Structure formats: structure tokens, C-alpha cells
Structure 1
């Protein structure tokens, strides 16, 4: 075991109670990102998880998915595409509307972002109930992607979100909450 493998990245994640609303415990990755050694270690660990999937593209979910996907795409030498909220992308788009606990939301991708059959890994910061990650997989498949996996920095396992995602999910840090 190397010194890097012994470092528990959870100690760099700040827990913020009652954010963004009462009863929610927010896992703040910004504190990990501010520490250059912890951030490099986290990116290295994510790279080791995602590289075996041999992605052509990483699909970053707005907005915190951009934070992990961009440096990881650079490390892996693959492309990057953005999954954005409705109306944020120029040109022709493909959209997917999905239900949330209270209402619905829509994700979009540029219509020419994916060549049919390209290997894509979805990236986001957090997996909780799984709605956004599942919608991302559905949208990417609608656009012709071969979704080979999803990768998140933090997973709240007690919420069962991975059961909704129709793709293999890898997680850097898990919390039972």
C-alpha cells in the first residue's frame, strides 16, 4: 500500500447541515478541490476507475459534474461534452425531461455532440436518489451513445440511487447517511 492509498479523502469533504434546505446534509466537495494534493489524488483515483471503460467521451452533468469531468478528460485523453439545463446550449439540441421528487427538470445535449456508438461515461459530483444520473443515461442513449458507465465523486448509498441508473456506476467516496 502506498502513502496515497492510505489517505482518506473523506476528511477533505465538508458536511454542511440544513443546506440547501432544513433536513438536508450537504457534502461539499469544494473543500477537497481547494487542497491541491487531495484534488490530485481524487483525480488519480477517478482516472483509475474510469480508464478501464475506455471512453471516447466524458459527459459532464451540469454543473458540478463539469468540475470532475474536465480534468479527467484531460488525463484520459478523451473528449468532453456537457449535459445542460434547458436553453443553455447553442444550436440544435436533444432533450430529456424527467421527474423529480417535487416537479420535473430537463437536460439537453447538442444534437451533433455524439457519433453513434461512441463510448461515453457520465460524470457527476453526487449520486443521491439517482434521478439526474438516470436521466443523463437516457438522454445520451437517445443521442446514440453507448453509455459504458457512470462515475461520481460521492454516493449516498442509503438513498438507493444506483438502482435507478441503467449503467455500471463507480464511486470514489460512499456515505451511508
Structure 2
């Protein structure tokens, strides 16, 4: 597994000074465009969750949709999109949170999950943890249990993974990058 994780980390491009000076942006698009890397990535998550029998995967807008929908397909369970405010056509619940660059609001359909659902909540990256925390609160408000939060990349210096774990959310990430 260490070789697979090292391989995945090598596929992630660092873009300096984006979206603002001093930020080291971790770009997963090269990982997604390489068919071998994408398969290795998805397999890491499939093997993690196959025996845990979640009833749904919830993906956070937008890169969490890519990973989450493929993972849900591979596990033969449903996919729940958690979108930025104003993107969903049906009745929604919403949650506002702080980002590293300001505030944002995410929402999901009120009928997306039900009481007793066991959900894996997934995104591409954990920075401050705000997006994942908001997604967790939305899912729990509708009666679901978030069995674990998952991401490809953790930026531990920004404190998000610690914050999420301190809130009681089990967390699974594949690679860490120092700095932000």
C-alpha cells in the first residue's frame, strides 16, 4: 500500500501562489487524468469501505463528486451530492461554514438520506475542515450516520483533520502535504 500511496502522491501537482500569493495549491487533476493513477486511487477507497457496508457515499462539491460517484458505483450504493448553495432544484437544507478564504454555504436535498443511513463523506482535500464539517452536520440533521470522512489529501498544518477528529468524525486520508 505504501508504494500505491507514494505513486498517488507523485501524481498530485503543486501550483505555487494560487489562488493567492503564499498558497501551495495541491492539484489532483493530473491524478484523475492518468487512468492507472485514477484506478489505484479509487481502489484504495473501495478496499477501505467494501466490508463496512455503507448505504451511500456523499460527495462534496465539486471534486468530491468525481471520487464519490465512482466509489458509490463500485460499492453498488447510492451517491448523494452536497452542492454549493443555489445549485439544487428540490427542497434543501443548508449549512454555512468558514473557508480558508472566506465563508460558503452548502446544501443537499431533504430526501437525499434517511434516518439510519450509513454514509461515507468524501472530498478531494482537507484544509481547514469547514466543508467536511458542514457536510457532516447536514447528513446528521437528516438522520444519517457519517461512518467516516475521507479525502485524498490532508493539509495537517491547517488544522482541519484535527478539528474533524476532535468533533468525533473518523477520518481517512491517503497522502499528507506539509504547508498550504
Does TM-score exceed 0.5, indicating one fold? Answer: yes
Map 1:101-116; keep pairs closer than 5 Å. 101=100, 103-116=102-115
Indicate how the Cα distance of structure 1 residues 134 and 118 shifts in structure 2: closer, same or farther if over 3 A, else same. Answer: same
Write the distance in 2 (CA, Å) between the matches of 1:103 and 1:128. Answer: 13
Q: Any conservation in 2 of the 1:56–1:120 contact (CA below 8 Å)?
A: yes
1:176 corresponding residue in structure 2: 178
Q: Any conservation in 1 of the 2:156–2:162 contact (CA below 8 Å)?
A: no
| 1:139 counterpart = 2:134 | no
Q: Which moved more, 1:110-119 or 1:98-107?
A: 98-107
Write the distance in 2 (CA, Å) between the matches of 1:79 and 1:6. Answer: 27
* Structure 1 residue 102: Cα displacement: 5.2
Q: Any conservation in 2 of the 1:60–1:69 contact (CA below 8 Å)?
A: yes
Write the distance in 1 (CA, Å) between the matches of 2:138 and 2:5. Answer: 38
**Aligned-CA RMSD value:** 1.8
Write the distance in 1 (CA, Å) between the matches of 2:96 and 2:135. Answer: 10
Map 1:51-90; keep pairs closer than 5 Å. 51-90=50-89
Indicate how the Cα distance of structure 1 residues 6 and 111 shifts in structure 2: closer, same or farther if over 3 A, else same. Answer: closer
Task: Tell me the SS of whatever aligns to 1:112.
Answer: coil
Aligned length: 176
- Give TM-score, length-normalised by structure 2: 0.91
Residue by residue over 1:84-107, the C-alpha shift from the partner in whole angstroms, topping out at 9 and shown as x without a partner, is 111110111111122335542211
Map 1:10-159; keep pairs closer than 5 Å. 10-101=9-100, 103-159=102-158
Unaligned runs of 5+ in 2: none
Unaligned runs of 5+ in 1: none
Write the distance in 2 (CA, Å) between the matches of 1:105 and 1:149. Answer: 22
Write the distance in 2 (CA, Å) between the matches of 1:46 and 1:7. Answer: 15
* Structure 1 residue 7: Cα displacement: 5.5
- Give TM-score, length-normalised by structure 1: 0.92
